[in-house]
Amino acid sequence: MTGEHDILEQVRKALRSDPRIRPTAGPIRLSFAPDGALAMEGEVDRLAGKKLALEAAARVPGVTGIVDRLRVRPATPMGDGAIRDAVRDALLEEIVLADCTLRVRTKDGIETVREPPDPHGEIVISVEDGVVTLDGEVAGLGQKRMAGVLAWWVPGSRDVVNGLGVNPPDVDSDEAITDAVRQVLEKDPLLAAESIAVTTHRGVVTLEGFVPSEDQRHMAEDDAWAVFGVDGVVNRLEVRP
Helix (H, G, I), strand (E, B) or coil at 193: coil
Handedness of CA 40, 45, 51, 53 (dihedral sign): negative
Q: Where in the chain is the domain with CATH 3.30.70?
A: 2-72
> CA-CA distance, 43 to 24, in Å (whole number)?
6
Phi, psi (rounded to 5 degrees) for 111: -110, 135
Residue-by-residue pLDDT tens, the chain, 241 positions:
458 999 999 999 999 999 999 999 899 999 999 999 999 999 999 999 999 999 999 999 999 999 999 999 999 999 999 999 999 999 999 999 999 999 999 999 999 999 999 999 999 999 999 999 999 999 999 999 999 999 999 999 999 999 999 999 999 999 999 999 999 999 999 999 999 999 999 999 999 999 999 999 999 999 999 999 999 999 999 999 8
pLDDT at 241: 84
Q: Classify domain 2-72 by CATH architecture.
A: 2-Layer Sandwich (3.30)
Domain 174-239 coded CATH 3.30.1340.30: yes
Q: Where in the chain is the domain with CATH 3.30.1340.30?
A: 174-239
Buried b or exposed e, range 87-103, using 16+ CB within 10 angstroms: bbebbeebebbebbbbb
pTM for the model stands at 0.95
pLDDT at 2: 52
